[in-house]
Amino acid sequence: MTVQDCVYYAIMVGASAACLARVVLIEKERLAWGLIGLALAVWAAGEIYYGLVLTDQSSVPVPSPADAGYLLFYPIAYAGLIVLARRRLDSFSAARWIDGLIVGAAIAALAAALALNPIVDAGTRPDDTLAVATNLAYPIGDVALLALIATAWALDGFRLGTRWTLFVAGMVVLAISDGTFLLQSADGTYVEGGLLDAAWPLGAILIATAAWLRPSTLPPVSGLDRTGTREIAIPATGALIAIGIQAAERFTHVPPAAAILSLVTLLAVVLRMTLAFRDNRANLVATTHEALTDPLTGLGNRRLLLAELDHAVGRTRRPGEVCLMVVFDLDGFKAYNDAYGHPAGDALLARLGERLSGFVDGRGGAYRLGGDEFCLLAECSAAQVDGLVAGATASLGEHGDGFVVTAAQGSVLIPVEAQTREAALTLADRRMYANKSRERASAGAQSTDVLLTALREAEPDLHQHLCGVAELAVAVADHLGVGAEERDEVFRAAELHDVGKMAIPDAILSKPGPLDPAEWEFIRKHTLIAERIIAAAPALVPIARLVRSSHERWDGAGYPDGLAGEAIPLGSRIVFACDAFDAMVSDRPYSVAMLRARALEEVDRCAGSQFDPRVAAALREVVEWHSGGDGDRPLPTAVPGLPPRAL
């Protein structure tokens, strides 16, 4: 036995010992590395027996104890590889299983086609069945090892880490080295002591090194490759290998095992492509559904409505049949959302959408167009129109402690009133907003008139002050570019902002001297009292919120909530500044009226602390414009029903 042989045996035994030592010292993955260490040990035992006993014999018996060591390596190594790979696999989707089957079968077919025939043909006498089986077991074992490695890698999503790379490289080196040795022995080209002899210890060293490396932390792999690259590359490569083997069979002798494995590969490719087609179709359906569905309510969205409107416009109907489209906008939802928060608002929209969908189920489609807008589209007879409109409108209403949400609607009949999609949407929107304005004006005006009448009877002077503040406030709001609907809310809030003072004792309101702390507590409650009174009318709930904050200061020193800056509603900031200005230019039990120019100077001085600077500047411009530049002239009376415009 030469020094080279001793080094070789020491490396093989040392690699096995390194894996087995890891089993003793490290609890994690003991079974996997125990099997791998045992596989290397039986391989080393076979090598040592062959070198010490069989090398000098003129005729090496087949099989021998050395063959037992070599061949036992394969099943034990397979088991170790499977256990180690199983710890890396986070899931077992059908796609990954089929990818593994394609890769494994293709590699096995290719290896069998290239190596199996020469090795078998160079075997021992055909009548020596045991010897033939032994010689045939080696290439089959190597092919199976390569296929198993490729399958495990494919199942793992083709991920690599340092440890896994070294381990797989070691196994591949052992399998390829053994296969190359068999081929060279078969054609008589093997030279002892050459580069090939260094490959076996190299493979063992790589495996032993991998045993002591820390596992890499890799991201989990999903069941499907969403990029589509792997869905195409793996089946295409496997199919090319299998087709090449099948084509080669027409011109040369291909081992039956290679032909069978290539057919298995092709069948797996067909199965994989079928699965990919199914998944892609399901993804397309899901994507289409998401694109046409409102995520909050599950109803159809505007895109779906437009598509179905196109169909409805072009459809031929029987006499007396029409398509009814109703557009809804929720009244009171903004106040509910502000009072209870956006999560509660989203939950309310989801409930209302479910009710609308349940009402129209089987009779038409329900849609959410965005925000608090809904829509109904239904084929029906003319006699069914009123019932559908009334029922759908009722399904979109909800009331509770301190809130009422209703729906304003606008309907259109297709094709009777509109022959195009655009015309139907425009007409329905116009009718919906007209109904919304009439309902709001009617309910709000009636409630406001009741409160103002009560206030006028209780405090005539206070009523006059409120009317002056309201006219000035709406002019300032208009000058700031506030929209018509919000401007109307500012006007009503200014009219009603002191309604709560009806609950304050006259002795406090008319006291000529300073108020004591207890009396100030009464005064600071009047905005909360006013909010409760005004909010009793559902149409005035937004007004009630503005009134609540109508004595908050820009610097946060106001009441009742200590709001500051932009957290104070703009309408409340406008009312606060106009109320203060009107109070300064009016006679009060505790003060005499200022000149308007002096009052404007005071407003300017308090801008940024008491008042919103932007509102204070707008107030000055409005007063000066109305007074023709002379701050001492009285403000003109606004045209009844029309707030004066500053610009």
Half-sphere exposure (Cβ direction) of 295: Cα atoms closer than 13 Å: 4
Beta strand 398-400 pairing with 364-370: unpaired
Provide the greatest CA pair distance for the chain: 133
Residue 222 pLDDT = 47
Give the residue, 99 or 77, on which the prediction is more confident: 77
The pTM for the full model equals 0.44
Extract the tokens encoding 592: 């005499």
> If pLDDT is split at 50, 70 and 90, which confidence band does 224 have?
very low
Residue 541 pLDDT = 78
Burial class (CB in 10 A: 0-12, 13-18, 19+), 179: buried
Least confident among 237-241, 262-266, 348-352: 237-241
Mean pLDDT score, 64-68: 89
Residue 564 pLDDT = 94
Residue 617 pLDDT = 94
Query: Which tens digit of pLDDT belongs to each residue from 399-446?
Result: 887 788 888 899 999 888 888 888 899 888 888 887 776 655 555 555
| C-beta neighbour count of 564 within 10 angstroms | 14
Backbone angles phi, psi at 32, to 5 degrees: -60, -50
Give the residue, 533 or 116, on which the prediction is more confident: 533
Query: Which tens digit of pLDDT belongs to each residue from 114-165?
Result: 666 665 555 545 556 677 677 777 777 777 787 788 777 777 766 767 888 8
Least confident among 54-58, 457-461, 629-633: 629-633
> If pLDDT is split at 50, 70 and 90, which confidence band does 105 have?
confident
> If pLDDT is split at 50, 70 and 90, which confidence band does 501 have?
confident
Residue 629 pLDDT = 47
Residue 638 pLDDT = 39
Which residue is listed with tokens 């080669």?
248
> If pLDDT is split at 50, 70 and 90, which confidence band does 283 have?
low
Mean pLDDT score, 209-219: 77
Query: Which tens digit of pLDDT belongs to each residue from 545-586?
Result: 899 999 999 999 998 989 999 999 999 999 999 999 988 888
Question: Is the bond preceding residue 415 a cis peptide, omega within 30 degrees?
Answer: yes
pLDDT at 468 over 80: no
Residue 640 pLDDT = 34
CA gap 397, 404 in Å, rounded: 8
Backbone angles phi, psi at 588, to 5 degrees: -130, 160
Asked if 102 and 238 touch (Cβ cutoff 8 Å), the reply is: yes
**CATH topology (fold) of 302-433:** Alpha-Beta Plaits (3.30.70)
126: CB partners within 8 A, 6+ apart: 132
Domain at 459-626: CATH code: 1.10.3210.10
Residue 632 pLDDT = 47
Query: Which tens digit of pLDDT belongs to each residue from 434-454?
Result: 777 665 555 555 556 556 565
In the β-sheet with 321-331, what is the strand arrangement from edge to edge?
364-370, 373-381, 321-331, 403-414, 398-400
Query: Which tens digit of pLDDT belongs to each residue from 348-363?
Result: 999 999 999 999 988 8
Q: Mean pLDDT, the chain, as a whole number?
A: 79
> If pLDDT is split at 50, 70 and 90, which confidence band does 223 have?
very low
CA distances from 522 to 317, 509, 514, 536 (A): 68, 10, 14, 21
pLDDT at 7 over 50: yes
CA gap 259, 429 in Å, rounded: 70
Burial class (CB in 10 A: 0-12, 13-18, 19+), 281: exposed
> If pLDDT is split at 50, 70 and 90, which confidence band does 181 have?
confident
Mean pLDDT score, 475-501: 84
Question: Is the bond preceding residue 139 a cis peptide, omega within 30 degrees?
Answer: no
> If pLDDT is split at 50, 70 and 90, which confidence band does 225 have?
very low
Residue 374 pLDDT = 94
pLDDT at 589 over 70: no
pLDDT at 523 over 80: no
pLDDT at 18 over 80: yes
Highest mean pLDDT (candidates 86-90, 93-97, 601-605, 626-630) = 601-605
pLDDT at 91 over 60: no
- Domain spans in the chain, listed from the N-terminal domain onward: 3-277, 302-433, 459-626
Q: What is the DSSP string of 598-640?
A: HHHHHHHHHBTTTB-HHHHHHHHHHHHHHTTT-TTSPPPPPPT
Residue 348 pLDDT = 93
pLDDT at 264 over 60: yes
Residue 328 pLDDT = 93
Give the residue, 215 or 482, on which the prediction is more confident: 482
Which residue is listed with tokens 């690699």?
15
Overall residue count recorded for the chain in this entry: 647
Residue 127 pLDDT = 55
Residue 139 pLDDT = 76
CA gap 358, 351 in Å, rounded: 11
> If pLDDT is split at 50, 70 and 90, which confidence band does 628 have?
low
